[in-house]
Amino acid sequence: MPVSFGQRTTAVSSGSRADAAIDSASMPAACSCSAGLAEPSIARTARRTSSATEPARSGEVRPAVWRFGTGPALLRFLLEPCSSHGRCAILVLFRSWKRFHKEVGRLATIKDVAARAGVALGTASRVLSGSSQTSADSRSRVLAAAAELGYIANGPARSLRRARTDVLGLLVSDIRNPFFSELAHAAEQEARHHGYTVLLANANEDAEQADAYLRTFAAQRIDGLLFSPQGTVSPQVAATLASGLPLVFLNRTIEGVDAPLYGTDNAQGVQQVLAWLQRRGHHDVAFIGGPDTLSTGAERRAAYLAGRQAHGISTDDRLLDAGDFLAGGAAEAMCRILDREVTFTAAFGANGQTTLGAVRALRERLGAEQAARIEVVSFDDLDWFEFTSPPISAVRNDASSIGRLGVRGLVDLIADRTAPGQRIPTTFVDRSVQDIR
């Protein structure tokens, strides 16, 4: 028997019980919130238990529990504060306290909804599963009953019946990176629009951690996976990825795994930087790349090496180094270039965190005044770049579009449609304030 409780309830206490003869005059008056409850027949001695032994404070109305009878057939009568009366009856006819807790604690089932709506179980099931093969009247009654009972669908049971979970896995490389934060937010919003829940996991740029999350996702029977990999995966995980699970790569790929990629056009972004450096009159440029084990790191480095000579940029490899796409590794890479005692007028960071580390190293090693003479440009645009002195020009990635399009592609794969993948164009944001020519 479904029960609605007020804000306060009180358990029976073993102490301070007083036997009293109960007659109709001692029972609470009927009120609107107890309408429909049959008045119990009182034929035995009852015990009333207060919520506490001390007297009630002024103006306080305490709930109380009335127990009628003894033995296996017990009548439980719960009294709660009522807005229109001192107390009102909201629960009757539980055979035992064990039964009471069982009934009160359980969630409403689809059978409860069908009974409350006065329809067949199959009709309630069709309405709650979103089927249109029901009458408007039945649908209205079922939905009203479900709302009244607080019905929540049994997800695991539904998944077994439909062989689907309506859950997508999203594994990002490093949620601290603003690019991936923006991507994850857009992906979650798009997935919800398509009726999916997203399980988000953060690999923290750790391939072993990514492997562990991928195994967890497989055990959860997700419907599809959005994945920004760390370059390599174990053979076991590679086999899982190739097993037929709908898979979309976000901004990064894994060699040998056939799946559509939705990501930045890295070649275009690097060409925009090279053209800007040439216009600004820079020849000696320090380039801080990312790991070649990551597709983004390899693609950006390859595009830079292929285009630098054509844009008048020095081919002196002493100006090249690489970090781990994190600020700490980039700072170490910049220090290695400075230790080579090679001059340069500009520095190019291969992602936002790399640029942060490079700027930090320049200021710590050269001092703020001399570091400000080196023009810095970034592949990735962070919010604070416009507030530095001088401000930092940058390639702007459309992380939101990558997240949204990736989800749409994955939904297509789940529905056995094609998903060709897409390279998202970049935009160059010029914040330069000086010209060295």
pLDDT tens digits, residue range 346-396? 999 999 999 999 999 999 999 999 999 999 999 999 999 999 888 999 999
pTM over 0.75: no
Categorize the per-residue pLDDT at 426 as very low, low, confident or very high, splitting at 50, 70 and 90. very high
Domain layout of the chain by residue ranges: 18-105, 110-153, 165-262, 266-398
**Cα–Cα distance for residue pair 281/348, rounded to 1 Å:** 14
Categorize the per-residue pLDDT at 25 as very low, low, confident or very high, splitting at 50, 70 and 90. very low
Question: 422 pLDDT exceeds 60?
Answer: yes
Task: Give alpha helix (H) positions in 220-324.
Answer: 235-241, 266-279, 295-307
Bridge partner residues of 67 (DSSP): 47, 76
Q: pLDDT tens digits for 182-211?
A: 999 999 999 999 999 999 999 988 888 988
- Structure confidence at residue 208 (pLDDT): 87
**Cα–Cα distance for residue pair 311/173, rounded to 1 Å:** 32
Copy the structure tokens of residue 163. Answer: 């062989």
- Structure confidence at residue 148 (pLDDT): 86
**Cα–Cα distance for residue pair 64/66, rounded to 1 Å:** 7
Integer angstrom CA distances of residue 122 from 107, 136, 165, 269 = 19, 15, 21, 56
Which has the higher per-residue pLDDT, 155 or 251? 251
> What's 81's DSSP letter?
E
Categorize the per-residue pLDDT at 156 as very low, low, confident or very high, splitting at 50, 70 and 90. low
Question: 38 pLDDT exceeds 80?
Answer: no
Average pLDDT, the chain: 79
The answer to whether 165-262 and 266-398 have equal CATH topology is yes
Number of H helices, E strands in the chain: 14, 17
- Structure confidence at residue 243 (pLDDT): 74
Question: 36 pLDDT exceeds 70?
Answer: no
**Cα–Cα distance for residue pair 92/101, rounded to 1 Å:** 13
Q: What angle do CA 69, 70, 73 make, to 5 degrees?
A: 85
Closest to 51 in 3D by CA, of 81, 21, 22? 81
- Least-confidence region, from 49-53, 156-160, 212-216: 49-53
Q: Where does 23-166 show beta strands of DSSP type E?
A: 46-49, 64-68, 75-81, 87-91
**Cα–Cα distance for residue pair 126/292, rounded to 1 Å:** 53
CB 371 within 8 A of CB 331: no
- Structure confidence at residue 273 (pLDDT): 98
Question: 39 pLDDT exceeds 90?
Answer: no
Q: pLDDT tens digits for 62-84?
A: 444 444 444 433 334 444 444 44
Largest CA distance in the chain: 105
- Structure confidence at residue 234 (pLDDT): 75
Rounded percentage of the chain residues whose pLDDT exceeds 70 = 71
CATH of the structural domain 266-398, one choice from 3.90.230.10, 3.30.70.20, 3.40.50.11140, 3.40.50.2300: 3.40.50.2300
CB 380 within 8 A of CB 397: yes
Collapsing DSSP states into helix, strand and coil, what is residue 383? helix
Bridge partner residues of 285 (DSSP): 346
Question: 50 pLDDT exceeds 70?
Answer: no
Q: pLDDT tens digits for 292-339?
A: 999 999 999 999 999 999 999 999 999 999 999 999 999 999 999 999
Collapsing DSSP states into helix, strand and coil, what is residue 250? strand
CB 362 within 8 A of CB 391: no
- Structure confidence at residue 124 (pLDDT): 86
Residues 411-432, mean pLDDT to the nearest whole number? 95
- Structure confidence at residue 163 (pLDDT): 55
CB 88 within 8 A of CB 31: yes
CATH of domain 165-262: 3.40.50.2300
Categorize the per-residue pLDDT at 284 as very low, low, confident or very high, splitting at 50, 70 and 90. very high
**Cα–Cα distance for residue pair 9/267, rounded to 1 Å:** 66
Question: 42 pLDDT exceeds 50?
Answer: no
CB 145 within 8 A of CB 117: yes
